Amino acid sequence: MAVDRADVAVTGLGATTPLGGDVPSTWAALLAGQSGISLIEEEWAAALPVRIAGRLRVEPEEVLGRVKARRLDRCEQVALIAAREAWADAGAPETEPERLAVVIGTGVGGLLSTLAQADVLETSGARRVSPYTVPMMMPNGPAAVVSMELGARGGAHTPVSACASGAEAIAMGLDLIRLGRADVVVAGGSEACVHPLTIAGFAQARALSTRNDAPQEASRPFDTARDGFVLGEGAALVVLERAESAAARGARVHAMLAGAGVTSDAHHITAAHSDGQVRAIRLALASAGLDALDIGHVHAHATSTPPGDVTEARSIAEAIGTHPAVTATKSMTGHLCGAAGAMGAISAILAIRDGIVPATRNLVDLDPEIKLDIVTGRPRRGRQDTALSNSFGFGGHNASLVFASAP
């Protein structure tokens, strides 16, 4: 099928994160340099080597109500909250249900429900297992729930590519519109897996920061003292639509989704590989019809792991150069895993729209191997016509998105 080079507008934004229950509160907190990382107070964390995480600032039950929330896994709850905000922000675009699609990525899906119901089965028997178990545990649950909420019949898709899932979902949304399969797409990522098993597993892999005594200083992208990422939870979604349709209905356009690049390393199950990252960035630039020098801002994946940050810095320098203003907002939100790429995309979009780039928190001593212009200390003001957002995941998944200012 021929690809339509139609311009794709971002007309809606929605999120719930460790910094806020919606996009405005999250964005304000990012610009203020606030941290959403805290100590895990529950008893189950006492024996864990890592006892910090980025927990949601607003509990889903407060928004959805107890009855609705109890029938959904936490990752479905946050996806629904973000979708409602994004859809309202877009002005609830009128389109045929068959031309409306949903793409929501996740890293592990309904893991909390899976583990909880496994405990019920073991301790209380099969008859006590919830009848909602399967709908809550399936990774496509967030996409399915949102598609039913919005009446989307143009497809409900679920990329599962670890920490690149949310960005890959947005890239797929771009493809769906350009391939003529949809006119409007709600796309992004959702994750809620703060649990003893995930924390213990990441800790055993030495991927997490162990700064239990200083939670808000734990996530330190590009800093010489970084020692791992901080697990977070949340959801971030965008509404994409054909630019001509958005203009026809007088919609506000936050930015344009100009291009995307998706690659795989075929190298190592957890270790990043610069070649795949460079190819993803260059594919995104080619998709957008832009040159490296056109990029003014980069939202880095930058999880705060010692090897990962250096690899990405080298990839950015090779693919684009050292001129863009680079930021890493995981220093404030923690790592939202399957939702991280979508949250990074929203940050990049808002940096373009508002002409300001959030500063990277906790960057005190820049690693000498990092040869980039990292925004630190305070947000950097200035017009940003284009921005790149990177996302890289375990399994060798790479996704890069290019955004441009609205015409």
Could you tell me which residues come within 8 angstroms of residue 250 by beta carbon, excluding any fewer than 6 positions away? none
Which residue spans within 184-254 are E strands per DSSP? 184-191, 234-242
Q: Which residue out of 193, 301, 337, 397 is catalytically annotated?
A: 301
Query: Residue 385 burial by CB count (10 A; 0-12/13-18/19+): exposed, middle or buried?
Result: middle
Bridge-based pairing of strands 397-404 and 255-264 is antiparallel
Give 302-359 as a 3 state SS string. Answer: CCCCHHHHHHHHHHHHHHCCCCCEEECCHHHHCECHHHHHHHHHHHHHHHHHHCEECC
Q: Which residue out of 254, 299, 335, 397 is catalytically annotated?
A: 335
Determine whether 299 is an active site residue.
Answer: no
Determine whether 273 is an active site residue.
Answer: no
Q: Are 10 and 346 in contact (CB under 8 A)?
A: no
Residue type, 79: A
Could you tell me which residues come within 8 angstroms of residue 147 by beta carbon, excluding any fewer than 6 positions away? 102, 153, 156
Q: Which helix (H) or strand (E) holds 101?
A: strand 100-105
Determine whether 267 is an active site residue.
Answer: no
Length of the chain in terms of residues written: 407
Half-sphere exposure of 272 (CA within 13 A, CB side): 29
| Torsion angle (degrees, nearest 10) of CA 7, 12, 17, 22 | 160
Neighbours of 238 (CB within 10 A): 31
Q: Which residue out of 163, 193, 297, 397 is catalytically annotated?
A: 163
Q: Are 62 and 258 in contact (CB under 8 A)?
A: no
Active site residues: 163, 301, 335
